[in-house]
Amino acid sequence: MARLVFLICLFFFLPTVMSCDFLVLALQWPITYCRPPSNCRTGLPQSLTIRGLWPSTKFPPYPAHCVGKDLSLNMVTSIEDRLHNEWPSLNSGQSDFSFWEMEWNKHGKCSTDVFPDPLTYFSFALTKSRAADIMRVLDLNAIKPSQREIFSAVRIVSAIVNAGFGVPQLECNYLAYPSELREIRLCLHTNGTFMQRCPYNNLKIGCGLTLSWPLQ
């Protein structure tokens, strides 16, 4: 009985759709993401992969865990191969679909005012990730994964800005010295255009003035 009451309360207190000010496309570097204590699968991708597409607001509370239609695999069958390649789960024991389902439940359901269904949501993330091609942008600026080279955060940000994708938010593994690049987050208007600057006060989470982009 107590559990039933809890579930009923949970349902009524979950938001349906929360309006968002902008979208965040989070790209992760598998090598850094999988530093201990993370338990990751073997054969990690050697490229930036999608961590998530998050509806966001300039100030908290940020949209999360809204009520909406559950994800089923047949909803994204037409893009499944691309999702496996570009939006894989890195965690051991977690299937790719479980990862997509988790992201949809936490973030996607809160963006149905922008994306009417899961296919539109996931397709948008894939399209924008390919359009930005941040690995190529950085490579053209002689910024690439290395066991020795150290990069200034300003240099990384400038390369992305000059390519037309705005000032990103960087997240690093601050337990390493120098800090290791873990995520690059690009911000977009809800119409799909890239913002000139991610509207966060903190654009470097755990990153120092210089950082590494580890090869292994």
Q: Does residue 109 surpass a pLDDT of 50? A: yes
Q: Does residue 144 surpass a pLDDT of 60? A: yes
Per-residue pLDDT, 100:
99
50 in Cβ contact with 26 (< 8 Å)? yes
Mean pLDDT taken over the chain:
93
Q: Kindly state the average pLDDT of the residues 185-195.
A: 98
Q: Does residue 18 surpass a pLDDT of 70? A: no
Q: Which helix (H) or strand (E) holds 171?
A: strand 169-173
In CATH, the architecture of 20-212 is Alpha-Beta Complex (3.90)
Q: Does residue 3 surpass a pLDDT of 80? A: no
Domain ranges of the chain: 20-212
For the chain, counts of helices (H) and of strands (E): 7, 7
End-to-end C-alpha distance for the chain, whole angstroms: 51
Secondary structure (3-state) at 52: strand
